[in-house]
């Protein structure tokens, strides 16, 4: 369980990363933390990649339909400009951002901003996804959340793609992906000839 560090007047910044497979509750946890910051009267800005329009163009929305207002951005450098003077910055679907996101998050934390990032740690092939590995390495706090395997009911760590498409980035929901444990994921990939 993540315990928020005490917020002091020294304006100490840090980076928190919430990662896991699809349907594990990453965005839900991001929204929960951001809403707590809002309740604490912190200035908060939330960003998501411009390409993510699955549920809404301007809001971050969890699979449970919880939502929070956000600003879609085309490049991570825009976050620095739009978050100037903000105490808490939330970033959803970090895996879809460019690699500059790592430097952006470090700059924000170094200037005293609490940065909360949510994203897939692995793509559908089980490989590290976009800037997430680098973000995990510089994070002050990491929370890995888990889904439930739809095949066997164990803890799921993989996002198994159920449709034929080899693009790394493919937006989709339950019609295209399902959470799977390591064993069921490997068995499914072997059936698809990808293992």
pLDDT averaged over the chain? 88
Q: Please check whether residue 28 lies inside any domain of the structure.
A: yes
Q: In whole angstroms, what is the distance from residue 159 CA to residue 125 CA?
A: 8
For the stretch 111-123, pLDDT in tens is 999 999 999 999 9
Q: In whole angstroms, what is the distance from residue 125 CA to residue 147 CA?
A: 17
Q: Please check whether residue 194 lies inside any domain of the structure.
A: no
Q: Please check whether residue 52 lies inside any domain of the structure.
A: yes
pTM of the model: 0.86
Which positions ≥6 away from 9 have C-beta within 8 Å?
none
The total number of structural domains that make up the chain:
1
* Res. 23: pLDDT tops 80: yes
| Region 177-189 average pLDDT | 96
Q: In whole angstroms, what is the distance from residue 52 CA to residue 171 CA?
A: 7
* Res. 8: pLDDT tops 50: no
Q: Please check whether residue 45 lies inside any domain of the structure.
A: yes
Residue 38 CA: distances (Å) to CA of 5, 31, 42: 16, 10, 5
* Res. 42: pLDDT tops 80: yes
Q: For residues 176 and 121, which has the higher predicted lDDT (pLDDT)? A: 121
Q: How many CA atoms lie within 13 A of 27 on its CB side?
A: 23
| Region 35-48 average pLDDT | 95
Parallel, antiparallel, or unpaired: how do β-strands 88-91 and 114-120 relate?
A: parallel
Q: Which domain covers residue 136, as residue numbers?
A: 14-145
Sorting pLDDT into bands at 50, 70 and 90, what band is 134?
very high
What DSSP character marks residue 94? G
Q: Please check whether residue 190 lies inside any domain of the structure.
A: no
> Annotated catalytic sites, by residue?
93
What is the four-CA torsion angle of 132, 42, 57, 144, rounded to 10 degrees?
30
Sorting pLDDT into bands at 50, 70 and 90, what band is 3?
low
Q: Please check whether residue 161 lies inside any domain of the structure.
A: no
Query: According to the model, what pLDDT value does residue 129 have?
Result: 96
CATH classification of the domain holding 59: 3.40.50.300
Q: Please check whether residue 193 lies inside any domain of the structure.
A: no
Query: According to the model, what pLDDT value does residue 164 have?
Result: 82
| Region 75-100 average pLDDT | 95
| Region 28-42 average pLDDT | 95
For the stretch 92-108, pLDDT in tens is 999 999 999 999 999 99
Q: Please check whether residue 177 lies inside any domain of the structure.
A: no
Query: According to the model, what pLDDT value does residue 50 have?
Result: 87
How many Cβ atoms from other residues are within 10 Å of residue 182's Cβ?
14
Residue 54 CA: distances (Å) to CA of 22, 51, 131, 156: 14, 9, 21, 22
φ, ψ of residue 47 to 5 degrees: the values are -130, 150
For the stretch 51-73, pLDDT in tens is 765 555 555 555 565 666 789 99
């Amino acid at each position: 369980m993540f315990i928020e560090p005490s917020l002091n007047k020294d304006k100490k910044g840090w980076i928190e990363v919430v990662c896991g497979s699809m349907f594990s509750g990453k965005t839900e946890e991001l929204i929960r933390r951001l809403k707590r910051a809002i309740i604490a009267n912190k200035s908060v800005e939330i960003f998501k990649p411009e390409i993510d329009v699955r549920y809404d163009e301007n809001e971050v929305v969890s699979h449970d339909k919880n939502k929070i207002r956000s600003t879609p951005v085309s490049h991570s450098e825009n976050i620095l400009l739009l978050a100037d003077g903000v105490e808490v910055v939330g970033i959803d679907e970090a895996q879809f951002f460019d690699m500059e996101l790592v430097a952006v998050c470090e700059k924000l934390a170094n200037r005293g901003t609490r940065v909360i990032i949510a994203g897939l740690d692995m793509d559908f092939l089980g490989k590290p996804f976009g800037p997430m590995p680098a973000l995990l390495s510089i994070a002050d706090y990491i929370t890995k959340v888990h889904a439930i395997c739809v095949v066997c009911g164990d803890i799921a760590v993989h996002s198994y793609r159920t449709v034929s498409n080899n693009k790394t980035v493919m937006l989709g929901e339950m019609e295209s992906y399902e959470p799977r444990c390591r064993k069921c994921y490997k068995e499914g990939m072997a059936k698809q000839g990808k293992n």
